[in-house]
Amino acid sequence: MNFSSSAVESHRPRIVVAITGASGAIYGVRLLMFLSKLGSIETHLLVSNAGWLTLLHELEMKKSEVQALANFTYSVREVGATIASGSFATIGMVVAPCSMKTLASIAHGLSDNLITRAADVVLKERRRLVLMVRETPFNLVHLRNMAAVTEMGGIIYPPVPAFYNRPSSLEDMVEDTVSRILDLFRLGPTISDSWSGLGKENNNST
């Protein structure tokens, strides 16, 4: 079958980024900043009502400032948006941070807003879904919901900082975590620092 050039649309890879009301709005913001810096990825942003409150409280960011970081933004009530359909091709979705309410809705297939519908689409189309769950400690319901999403092909990625690279600031820890999230999507050369192992002088001899 032949397609005319007008029938086939050439597009940059697309990714959906959602920010919910859990603590850790900085992860979503830094993720958008990283993607904007890459320049080769088209970003589609969703923020829950609680997410807007957290952005204002934790980062003192206005809606317009956050929206300016993405190529496209949607209301969570906009269930007829492009990202609500599997025919709209994306490389996947990151929920950063992901509240336990959003986790539960995704785990049980409750597409009750555009965030959970977009996540459901990513799962059904076998695309990459990464949930940066933010809660501690976890109760049994949290753990079962995380197991359910994992069984469906999603990736549960609590933003647990690494210390082997000796971060000198909170910014270092956030950026390392965000770069590792992006590496999960295999967008090109690895962004995060690779583990090079411990030197022989640090190993205990047997």
Q: Tell whether 164 is in a known binding site.
A: yes
Q: Tell whether 51 is in a known binding site.
A: no
Q: Tell whether 177 is in a known binding site.
A: no
| Maximum C-alpha span of the chain | 68
CA-closest candidate to residue 102, choices 47, 52, 45:
47
Q: Tell whether 20 is in a known binding site.
A: no
Residues 6+ apart with CB under 8 A from 172: 165
CA distance 15 to 190: 18
Q: Integer distance in angstroms from the first to the last C-alpha of the chain?
A: 66
Q: Tell whether 99 is in a known binding site.
A: yes
Q: Tell whether 100 is in a known binding site.
A: yes
SS (H, E, C) 28-94: HHHHHHHHHHHCCCEEEEEECHHHHHHHHHHHCCCHHHHHCCCCEEECCCCCCCHHHCCCCCCCEEE
Q: Tell whether 93 is in a known binding site.
A: no
Q: Tell whether 102 is in a known binding site.
A: yes
Residues 6+ apart with CB under 8 A from 170: none
Q: Tell whether 157 is in a known binding site.
A: no
Residues 6+ apart with CB under 8 A from 48: 18, 19, 20, 21, 76, 99, 102, 113, 115
Q: Tell whether 173 is in a known binding site.
A: no
Q: Tell whether 63 is in a known binding site.
A: no
- Which residues line the annotated binding site? 21-23, 48, 99-102, 134, 164, 180
Residues comprising the binding site for dimethylallyl phosphate?
164, 180
The annotation places the binding site for FMN at: 21-23, 48, 99-102, 134
